[in-house]
Amino acid sequence: MFDPERIRDDFPILHQTVRGRRLIYLDSAASAQKPVAVLNAMRSFYESDYANVHRGVHRLAARATDAYESARNRVASFVGAPPRALVFTRNATEAINLVAHSWGRSRLRAGDEIVLSVMEHHSNLVPWHLLAEERGVVLRYVPLTGDYRLDLDAFEKLITPRTRMVCVSHMSNTLGTINPIAQIAERAHAAGAVLLVDGAQAAPQIALDMGDLDCDFYAFSGHKMLGPSGIGALYAKPEHLEAMPPFLGGGEMIREVRLEGSTYAAPPHRFEAGTPAIAEAVGFGAAAGYLEALGMDDVHAHERELVAYAVAGLKGVPGVRLLGPETERGGAVSFVVEGIHPHDLATILDTEGVAVRAGHHCTMPLHHALGIPASLRASFYLYNTREDADRLLEALDRARGIFGPARATV
């Protein structure tokens, strides 16, 4: 049985107090905490097996290479992909930039169109802004429905014969909205376009199978799924990787280098120039193994139940405006409270030992579309409990007692 109280014991950082109260960590959408299994895997690697990979014939180099490639196998399996289709990157942001620089610059021309949505994280907007400025690519945006979901009717109308790519988040980091990726992929492919998915929020929370989703590119980060920072991954259909030019040049990504020029390694190594984040990859693999052992269906079921409980409680707080669907959503719960600026509210919650995020959450266009400058986000994960949600509600009540209408700042 899935037991968040037992799971919490695996996370040393959660065994602390803030101002005399047990820490309630509700900021996992920004970065998740790390279990002992991940910490031990990285420490053991550094203490026993560390060396550079792929280049040495000595024993440590062989063990390090095996550990690195084993991590690739484990992470690839976690998302239902073959290892040759998984490129290690620094994070989901770099994975998206890799596609923009390599696939985008080699394929897109002036007048070609990319369809995105207004709910996208800046990481899935700015690379395309840069490409549009450079190449004259046209960006089109899918709006939201009244219940904070992707407007699929508008999406259909935005697809044209000039559409070359669709870029969409699997799960919104602000709204918690889960988008129907397989359905979007089918429509994009029918138009001859490719689909890139920002999976940074979905990968930690729901079971994935790249074959079922049928997307062309899927970007995700290690640090949001219990792994270390500085490591992420790009899944790409092998036929795309084979046709794409390198993103970065240097050691490791080459086949042969002469003064006259270079030839390049086969994917995925073609896109992993230089010494990679070896220990971080080991930690990433351990995180994937930890999640698989828990069972991603159970992880998602726990989050659905916990978010439903939290949303029901927040709906009973006077002055709260919830952002995002009420059902069938991910672990991020964003809201605003009438008369209290989100940054002030987050500061007060911190005095109660409740860690939440305040701001635009790297979704400024979304907040502009919603008519608000910022919001408060409580993001729940597998180590959170109903008690955590209750502590959030109690802290909100105290904050509302401190900030009255006369001190309204929003």
CA distance 76 to 210: 10
How far from chain centre, in Å, is Cα 350?
A: 24
The helix or strand, by DSSP H or E, that contains position 66, with its residue range, turns out to be helix 59-78
Q: How far is CA 385 from CA 161, 393, 397, in A?
A: 48, 13, 19
Q: Please report which residue ranges of 138-273 form alpha helices under DSSP H.
A: 152-158, 181-190, 210-213, 238-243
The residue behind tokens 């006369």 is 406
Q: How far is CA 34 from CA 13, 21, 284, 288, in A?
A: 8, 21, 10, 12
Tokens at 235, concatenated: 């899944």
Q: Is 167 among the catalytic positions? A: no
CA distance 238 to 258: 27
Residues 130, 152, 248, 362: which is the catalytic one? Answer: 362
Q: Which residues contact 145 (CB under 8 A, 6 or more apart)?
A: 151
CB 325 within 8 A of CB 148: yes
Q: Which residues contact 293 (CB under 8 A, 6 or more apart)?
A: none
CB 116 within 8 A of CB 140: yes
Backbone angles phi, psi at 385, to 5 degrees: -135, 175
CB atoms within 10 A of CB 283: 29
CA distance 287 to 293: 10
Tokens at 13, concatenated: 């950082």
Q: Please return the burial class of 258, using the count of CB atoms within 10 Å of its CB with bins 0-12, 13-18 and 19+.
A: exposed
Q: Which residues contact 11 (CB under 8 A, 6 or more apart)?
A: 33, 34, 35, 36, 383
| Half-sphere exposure for 177 (CA within 13 Å, toward CB) | 27
CA distance 400 to 211: 48
Positions marked catalytic: 362
